[in-house]
Structure 1
Amino acid sequence: MNTSKSVAGATPSGTGALFFIQIFATLGFAVLYSTLVLYATKRLAFSESQANAMMGVFGAFNYGLHLFGGYLGGRYLSNRNLFVLGMVLQVAGCWVLSGQSAEGLYWGLAMFLTGSGLNVTCINMMLTQRFTPEDNRRESAFLWNYAGMNLGFFIGFTGAGYFQLTEHYEALFLFATLGNAVAIVVSLLRWKILRDIDTPLLHVSKKQFRLRMLAGLAILVILVPLIRIMLTHADFTGSFVIGLGVMIFLLLGFITLRHKPHDERRRMSAYLLLAMGSLVFWMLYQLAPMGLMLFTEHNINLNVYGIQVAPQWVQNINTLVIVFGGPLLAVGFRNLRERGWRIDIPLQFASSLFIIGLGMLVLPLGIMLAGGDGMVAFKWIVISYVLQSIAELLISPIGYAMIGKLAPARYQGVMMGCWMMVTGVASVLAGYVSGMMPENSGSTPVLTNPGYSHIFTLLGWGSAAVGLVMLMLMPLLRKLIQPSVTR
């Protein structure tokens, strides 16, 4: 037996490079994701409601543009070209943010969001294209890649927390550019291996290719000032993103109804039902950099064994669970399936909703057991994040992997982007929910704890209710996903 040969051929060429690229590409986003609300309130004197609304729009554009990124990468610039150009925009955006002004905030975010919003779909498409639709190794590859992404989050959160303790934001944003620069270098070194596979752009003439490239570059130039304008009108932009999300969902539903191959139409229908259920998960998950961050900053005792814990470091609980849990989950799923357990996408999604609901429900318990000063023990936020992270492992990388399983080849880019658009809509909804949480400025934990407890309770039980609905729909979803039997 040639064991080394079988191991070497275990994953297609390029998957290893994409794992390392994912680590460094995530670092800059991790810094902004975990710091933006604190930076806006502490340095730029934004109110908490303004900061939450801006963070909601930040998430909406970051995830909402993923839909367009799948189209732009597959048909105009190529996935690898758009990925590198997006990383260049992120570097420029972080450099502008380091100037520490309100105007620099909007322009820096516009550049950063144009880059991060468009290029995430590209890296996922580059990965999924390296597997055939029936290749079961795809799920493991995405779990490993998801672990790599969260390793990047760990580095970013750790650096962000270090600079947050001294509020040295200029150095923090310059630090954010390092990972993006490394991702660019690795991509260029592995350029040929990361080429696109079977995208519409590959089937056009050379003249059309050049014209599409120019059109794609023009789109990037136009997007930056457009996003800059929309960032200053957060309320309108939030409503626009939700409306756009509804329209895209209805359009995809219409496309599904008209799609001819019977089995493909059934799988697309299952995709739409799963996407609807995932909206609740992502809304709760996106509270981390908004209302949950402010709750952690003001109502959690961050002095642990004499060490002052930065708020961003708390989010590393999530990254550690993902980094170690992702590969373990991939192995565990394989072993259980070999023993005959039916662990599939519908079961994973329903379980995820129950677990993240529990992650919300432990917080009111911690508030109830808080001391006389209202400060909640650190262990409760740890338990909550561990549960949220387990739920994330069951839905997020599985969701990416399901695109290759459920989406027809011609719609893979659009459906990958639509899956991410769900997260963008959820980010806006999370901003609204965070806006309903108590205002911490000028208040105390004793006064704000009841309001937090009420919101967390509603969210927890609401998620459990949607999980129950998904559980009831599981036989239907399994029937839709499985190929129909022909006689």
Structure 2
Amino acid sequence: MNQIDSRSAEPDGTRALFFIQIFSTLGFAVLYSSLVLYATKKLGFSETQANTMMGVFGAFNYGLHLFGGYLGGRFLSNRNLFVLGMVLQVIGCWVLSGQQAEGLYWGLAMFLTGSGLNVTCINMMLTQRFAPEDSRRESAFLWNYAGMNLGFFIGFTGAGYFQLQEHYQVLFLFATLGNAVAIVVSLLRWKTLADLDTPLLHVSGSQLRLRMLAGLIILAVLVPVLRILLTHAGFTGTFVLALGAVIFLLLAVLTLRHRPREEQRKMTAYLLLALSSLIFWTLYQLAPMGLMLFTEHNIMLDVWGIRIAPQWVQNINTLVIVFGGPLLAIGFRNLRERGWRVDIPLQFAASLFCIGLGMLVLPIGIMLAGQDGMVAFKWIVISYVLQSIAELLISPVGYAMIGRLAPQRYQGIMMGCWMMVTGVASVLSGYVSGLMPQNSGSTPALTNPGYSHIFTLLGWGSAATGVMLLVLMPLLRRLIQSSASRL
């Protein structure tokens, strides 16, 4: 295994991964923000069909992160799987640019295969740059998370421009450009991004070739399978929830049987933290669903004479992440140098309080709304800022904790499980959105009470979960504690 110099400012490959993260995210941002509009305005889909397809796209995208964690480092190296996934995304966007309904399903299947599998790969490539006790890991993930959101900002901005012009072919070619740049940077830094310690590195030459062949066959088969699943979306939500429950139970059994005890304790802490994060991600995933509809129908979007598109509100999150990520990394370092114990359990609890507050400010805005029921724009801004701060507190450290709490041979699987929590939460967010008032044929004054009730329940529920984490904090810290140091 290559040795990492802990004295260097940053390990080799981290800068390359930062830029790769920006451009690899750009393509996903385009589809995430434009898919429903493309399907309805260009291909003639109904809004119900388009929204159902978007739900399936999101659920399988996050669900495949788990599968990517298993494939990467076992059948294909993480860098190989990442580049192959990028190639599939390029081909998928090119097929989508043909503007045909049949091409939509095949294009999405190819893009989804690539985007679903390679997210885990890039996080695994990054976490392997650091030794288990390297304190620089969290800062690296915060910077990478800022890079990902910079990619979202560029993608959202470009998608909005081409969407206004209804130049869909150019829109998907724009997404292809970002993916192509990610491929080029990966190839230029190919040797630097090599896996450092994965099961694939410990097999013989003949086994290596067989595993690589199996990995390529899996990729080839996965595309038509997803093509079929995209056209049968009715059971997807139930399937994702059931799969998430099974994976959690299997991981719990694996934890009970695992030895040595110190690793078992850390895996137990991982399970408790992952379970609590499900509350955060369920609230966070409301942004493109129920919260987006609330913004469109109940928020005053004329600001200083400018009409604000509901989609542009998402950039509040992007800007807070891009500028707040590096600042938070610096702030945490300064606090720890002064003796503050800013660790994983505390950050998770603070995140739940913060996103809960982001929900609770909305009923205040509703209470202060005018007679027409329209809520001042500042309240949705405050809510998104609080949600974004909560994301900064939990998401980057969630990725970083894998390298600290997961045994070496389970890191890929546990990284995938952590990402799959978001997929399960996306399904739950859909159910929560279904409990919100229907805007069609109604008015803000009539729907506001229903929105206020749901937001209040969500906010206090998140706060209650944060209190539970505070109560469990001494236990979690004992579980995480190692013989060498504390987080």
The two structures share one fold, judged by TM-score above 0.5 = yes
Per the alignment, residue 17 of structure 1 pairs with 16
Between the aligned partners of 1:204 and 1:47, the Cα distance in structure 2 is: 51
- When the two chains are superposed, the root-mean-square deviation of aligned CA atoms in Å is 2.0
8 Å CA contact 1:55–1:431 kept in 2: the answer is no
Deviation at 1:330, TM superposition (A): 0.7
Which aligned pairs between 1:38-437 and structure 2 lie closer than 5 A? 38-44=37-43, 50-437=49-436
State which drifts further: 176-185 or 294-303.
294-303
The aligned amino acid for 1:471 is L
Between the aligned partners of 1:201 and 1:120, the Cα distance in structure 2 is: 19
Aligned partner of residue 341 in structure 2, secondary structure = coil
The aligned amino acid for 1:318 is N
Between the aligned partners of 2:337 and 2:246, the Cα distance in structure 1 is: 41
Provide the identity percentage. Answer: 84
Per the alignment, residue 479 of structure 1 pairs with 478
8 Å CA contact 2:72–2:121 kept in 1: the answer is yes
The aligned amino acid for 1:482 is Q
Aligned partner of residue 74 in structure 1, secondary structure = coil
Task: Extract unaligned runs of 5+ from structure 2.
Answer: none
Task: Extract unaligned runs of 5+ from structure 1.
Answer: 1-5
The aligned amino acid for 1:199 is T
1:63-111, Cα deviation, whole Å (9 max, x unpaired): 1111110111111111001101111111222222333444333222211
Pair 1:439–1:32, CA change in 2 (3 A): farther
Aligned partner of residue 11 in structure 2, secondary structure = coil
The aligned amino acid for 1:234 is A
Deviation at 1:46, TM superposition (A): 5.0
Between the aligned partners of 1:238 and 1:390, the Cα distance in structure 2 is: 28
Pair 1:256–1:64, CA change in 2 (3 A): same
Between the aligned partners of 1:70 and 1:296, the Cα distance in structure 2 is: 36
Between the aligned partners of 2:448 and 2:165, the Cα distance in structure 1 is: 27
Aligned partner of residue 72 in structure 2, secondary structure = helix
Per the alignment, residue 461 of structure 2 pairs with 462
1:177-224, Cα deviation, whole Å (9 max, x unpaired): 221111011111111111111111111122211111111111111111
Deviation at 1:228, TM superposition (A): 1.9
1:424-478, Cα deviation, whole Å (9 max, x unpaired): 1111111222233333344443343333222222211211111111111111101
Deviation at 1:38, TM superposition (A): 4.1
8 Å CA contact 2:62–2:423 kept in 1: the answer is yes
Per the alignment, residue 3 of structure 1 pairs with none
1:373-399, Cα deviation, whole Å (9 max, x unpaired): 433222111111100100000000000
Deviation at 1:360, TM superposition (A): 1.3
Aligned partner of residue 75 in structure 1, secondary structure = coil
Per the alignment, residue 33 of structure 1 pairs with 32
Deviation at 1:43, TM superposition (A): 4.8
Between the aligned partners of 2:49 and 2:364, the Cα distance in structure 1 is: 29
The aligned amino acid for 2:478 is K
Aligned partner of residue 12 in structure 2, secondary structure = coil
Deviation at 1:11, TM superposition (A): 0.6
State which drifts further: 299-308 or 231-240.
299-308
Aligned residue pair count: 480
The aligned amino acid for 1:83 is F
State which drifts further: 52-61 or 269-278.
52-61
8 Å CA contact 2:6–2:134 kept in 1: the answer is no
1:136-165, Cα deviation, whole Å (9 max, x unpaired): 110111111111111111111112222334
TM-score where L is the length of structure 1 = 0.94
8 Å CA contact 1:28–1:180 kept in 2: the answer is yes
Pair 1:266–1:469, CA change in 2 (3 A): same
Between the aligned partners of 2:158 and 2:285, the Cα distance in structure 1 is: 21
Between the aligned partners of 1:267 and 1:459, the Cα distance in structure 2 is: 30
Deviation at 1:53, TM superposition (A): 3.7
